[in-house]
C-alpha cells in the first residue's frame, strides 16, 4: 500500500534533531528520503543515546525510512552532486545557520534555477530573518525564548525541561506540515517556495493564551509543577503501591462522577467544591482528599473504579508500561523491526493513522553511505570509475 507522499523525493541535509525529524515524518508517509551526510563523521545522531557497546538507540528511529548517501557539501564536487539531486527532487530539508547554503552556492535562488518546483524547508533556531537570525540556536534555547521553559517545573525551583527535545521536534513537525502545504500549493502555482520553521516560533505556537493573559489580563503565568492554577482536581495521586495515577476530574459533571466513585457524593454539593471556581480556590484541600482516598486502593482497583465511573485517569507510564499495554498493542502504536546489529527493535508507529493511505515504518536508520551506489549510480548515472574518484578525494 502506498503512502500519501509516495512519489515525493526529499533530500535531507540537516543534522541532529529538528531537520531530521521533519524528514522522519515525511518518510513515514511514503516520501523517498535521501539523507545527505558528511563522509567522515555522518550525522552526530549516530553517536547519541548509545547502548553499552556504543551503538545508538536513537539513530534507527530518527533515520527510519531513509536512505543514506555521503557527500562533502564544502567541496565543489559535492555541491555539484547536490545540484544534480535537486534537479530530480521535490523537497530539500536543511537546518544549517542562515547563509550557509548560500556560501556553498546552494541558496534558494540558485536551486530554483535548477528546479523551479523545489520546496526548500529551512529549520533554524530563530528563522531566516530578524536580528537574531544568525545566532546559533539549539532546541533548548528555542524552548526558553518561546516561553515553555519559564512555565515548566516547580514554583520554588529554576525552570525545568520536558525530559525530551520537544522544541526541536515541534519545529520539525511544523516544518513537515509546511512542506506538505507547499507541495499542495505547487499543484496550483507550479512553483516551489521556502518553508521557514523557527524553533522558538514552533514552541511559542503551543503556548495557549500566554500572551493575552499578560497583555490583556495582567497575569504572568508561572511554574506550577504538576497542577494548573484554578483547575481541580487534576493532578497526580498515589495508589496504595505508590504508583503515580493522573486523575482529571475538573469538569462539574466529571467531578460528580469522581465523588460517586470515591463514595463521597456529598463533596459535589460542598460549597468549597460545588463549581469550577470554588474547586480552583480550594484545590489544595481537594487534592488532599482525593489523595487520601487513592492511597488506600491498589492501583488496579483504583483505575477500575475510576474507569467504571467515567472518570479520566491513567498511570504515568514508563517505557516498560508502554510496551506492556494491551491498548498500545491493539492499535499497533509500537512496531518491531529487525536491526542488523541490535536484533528485534521496537519503535513508535506512524502518527496519525490514515484510513486509506496510511504511513508505515519500512526500515530502520541506514549505515553511513549505505545507499551511495544506488543513488549516485542509478539515480544520477555516475559510473563506477567516477564514483571511485569521488571516494578517493573524500567527496563521498
Q: Catalytic residue positions?
A: 168
> How far is Cα 316 from Cα 328, in angstroms, rounded to an integer?
14
Contacts with 362 (C-beta within 8 Å, 6 or more apart), sequence order: 64, 65
> How far is Cα 178 from Cα 320, in angstroms, rounded to an integer?
34
Residues in the chain: 396
Distances (CA, A) of 318 to 41, 290, 321: 33, 23, 5
> How far is Cα 188 from Cα 151, in angstroms, rounded to an integer?
42
The SS3 call for residue 240 is coil
Cell readout for 10 is: 526529499
> How far is Cα 145 from Cα 307, in angstroms, rounded to an integer?
39
> How far is Cα 66 from Cα 264, in angstroms, rounded to an integer?
56
Rounded (10°) angle between helices 18-28 and 166-189: 60
Task: Estimate to the nearest angstrom the gap between the alpha carbon of 347 and the chain centroid.
Answer: 14
Q: Is-contact 43 63, C-beta < 8 A?
A: yes
Cell readout for 193 is: 517556495
Distances (CA, A) of 111 to 85, 86, 108, 374, 378: 10, 7, 5, 23, 22
Amino acid at each position: 500500500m502506498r503512502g500519501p507522499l509516495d512519489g515525493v523525493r526529499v533530500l535531507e541535509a540537516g543534522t541532529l534533531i529538528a531537520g531530521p525529524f521533519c524528514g522522519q515524518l515525511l518518510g513515514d508517509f511514503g516520501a523517498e528520503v535521501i539523507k545527505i551526510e558528511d563522509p567522515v563523521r555522518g550525522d552526530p545522531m549516530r553517536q547519541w543515546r548509545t547502548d553499552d557497546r556504543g551503538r545508538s538507540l536513537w539513530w534507527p528511529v530518527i533515520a527510519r525510512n531513509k536512505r543514506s548517501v555521503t557527500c562533502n557539501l564544502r567541496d565543489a564536487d559535492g555541491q555539484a552532486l547536490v545540484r544534480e539531486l535537486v534537479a530530480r527532487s521535490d523537497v530539500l530539508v536543511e537546518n544549517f545557520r542562515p547563509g550557509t547554503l548560500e556560501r556553498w552556492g546552494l541558496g534558494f535562488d540558485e536551486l530554483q534555477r535548477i528546479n523551479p518546483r523545489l520546496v526548500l524547508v529551512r529549520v533554524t533556531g530563530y528563522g531566516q530573518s530578524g536580528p537574531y537570525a544568525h545566532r546559533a540556536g539549539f532546541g533548548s534555547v528555542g524552548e526558553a525564548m518561546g516561553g515553555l521553559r519559564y512555565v515548566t517545573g516547580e514554583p520554588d525551583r529554576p525552570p525545568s525541561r520536558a525530559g525530551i527535545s520537544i522544541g526541536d521536534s515541534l519545529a520539525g513537525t511544523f516544518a513537515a506540515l509546511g512542506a506538505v502545504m507547499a507541495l499542495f500549493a505547487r499543484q496550483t502555482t507550479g512553483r516551489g517556495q521556502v518553508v521557514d520553521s523557527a524553533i522558538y516560533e514552533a514552541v511559542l505556537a503551543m503556548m495557549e493564551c500566554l500572551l493575552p493573559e499578560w497583555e490583556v489580563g495582567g497575569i504572568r503565568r508561572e511554574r506550577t509543577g504538576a497542577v494548573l492554577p484554578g483547575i481541580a482536581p487534576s493532578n497526580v495521586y498515589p495508589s496504595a503501591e505508590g504508583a503515580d495515577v493522573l486523575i482529571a476530574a475538573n469538569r462539574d459533571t466529571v467531578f460528580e462522577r469522581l465523588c460517586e466513585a470515591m463514595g463521597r457524593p456529598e463533596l459535589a454539593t460542598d460549597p468549597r467544591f460545588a463549581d469550577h471556581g470554588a474547586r480552583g480556590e480550594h484545590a489544595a484541600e481537594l487534592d488532599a482528599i482525593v489523595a487520601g482516598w487513592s492511597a488506600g486502593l491498589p492501583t488496579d482497583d483504583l483505575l477500575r473504579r475510576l474507569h467504571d465511573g467515567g472518570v479520566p485517569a491513567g498511570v504515568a507510564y514508563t517505557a516498560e508500561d508502554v510496551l506492556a499495554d494491551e491498548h498500545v498493542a491493539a492499535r499497533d502504536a509500537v512496531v518491531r523491526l529487525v536491526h542488523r546489529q541490535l536484533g528485534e527493535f521496537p519503535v513508535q508507529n506512524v502518527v496519525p493513522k490514515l484510513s486509506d493511505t496510511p504511513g508505515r515504518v519500512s526500515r530502520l536508520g541506514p549505515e553511513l553511505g549505505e545507499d551511495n551506489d544506488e543513488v549516485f549510480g542509478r539515480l544520477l548515472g555516475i559510473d563506477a570509475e567516477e564514483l571511485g574518484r569521488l571516494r578517493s578525494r573524500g567527496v563521498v
